[in-house]
Amino acid sequence: MNWISIDNEKCDGCKFCVVRCPRCFSKVGEEIVGQADETNCNVCGHCISLCEPEAITHELMEMDNFPKVNPADNFDPATFFNFVRNRRSHRHFKNKAIEKAELEMLVDACRYAPTGGNVQNVELVVVEDRDKIKKLSNLTVDTYVGLGAAAAKEAEQLLADGKEVPEALLRTQTYGQRMDESRSEGLDPIFFNASALMIFHSTSDPGSAKDNCVIASTTVSLLARTMGIESTFIGFFVTAANGNPEIRKELQLPENNSVLSVLMMGYPRLKFHYAVDRFPLKVNWF
């Protein structure tokens, strides 16, 4: 079995495929030959992307989905730097639904975000229904109220034993109390009445699943800004979703999948007029 074929009439002998993927391509005499299967090919498509005369085909890939790269589709460094720096975490949104075409484009961007080893194992749950968002928010608050009560009990026992209470335990206790107070005042302390949620999940393997989901969600957050949509990562929900079976049921997650990154998003109600200061990064140069 061979997944690739080479049109020798089109091949110009540049050998870029051999340089990029010597496991699948080699030069025999004056001819480039290829052998790709599950033992040596991870279906990355780089060989096709490098082949300007379009001599290579791959039976597992959509050959009409390799659009020509346009060098003009780029940013100058200063513009992109400022675009990244101007991104803020938003928690105030207009009461306006995100257009379906824009959400679909954001979903499609996840398809093309890089994954470790090209495993392409990122999966998505997109929530637009406001009642569903409210229910997920309430379940998250309930989770943290329970975690806070357990933390308070543990802290009490530590103090009784004359031991120091870890800062993390105190924070957990505080989170539950604050969330519950905000909810009792009619606020949404988790999703802040966002227009949509994008929940990134993947198999619970020891590889790069978390990295892959964070890369995909970061890609989405930046692309969304070009549409006038802003977002915020919600780590509270990641913890709650993976620890509360009710949330997993609401999301219809596969049994072996974990939530690894979450974005809430919408059209911003506040306009930031200035980029913000940050502490200098600690860097070692070698």
Tens of pLDDT, residue by residue over 105-129, are 999 999 999 999 999 999 999 999 9
The pLDDT of residue 206 is above 70:
no
Class of domain 4-58: alpha beta
What are the domain boundaries of the chain? Answer: 4-58, 89-286
pTM > 0.85: yes or no = yes
232 confidence band (pLDDT: 50, 70, 90): very high
Which residue stretches of 161-230 are H helix?
167-184, 209-225
Whether the CB-CB separation of 174 and 180 falls below 8 Å is answered with no
Residue 58's identity, in one-letter code, is H
Between these two residues, 162 and 3, which has the higher pLDDT value? 3
**C-beta neighbour count of 25 within 10 angstroms:** 21
Mean pLDDT of 52-81: 95
The dihedral over CA atoms of 249, 252, 257, 259, expressed in degrees to the nearest 10, equals -80
Both tokens of residue 251?
């999301």
Predicted pLDDT of residue 207: 74
DSSP conformation letters of 41-105: -----HHHHH-TT--EEETTS-TT--PPP-TTS---HHHHHHHHHT------B-S-PPPHHHHHH
d(CA 184, CA 196): 23
Whether the CB-CB separation of 224 and 230 falls below 8 Å is answered with yes
Predicted pLDDT of residue 15: 94
Tens of pLDDT, residue by residue over 43-53, are 999 999 999 99
Both tokens of residue 231?
């977002």
d(CA 103, CA 105): 5
Mean pLDDT of 150-172: 88
What is the CATH T-level fold of the domain 89-286, as seen in this structure?
NADH Oxidase (3.40.109)
Whether the CB-CB separation of 100 and 198 falls below 8 Å is answered with no
- Give the sign of the dihedral formed by CA 148, CA 153, CA 154, CA 155: positive
The pLDDT of residue 215 is above 80:
yes
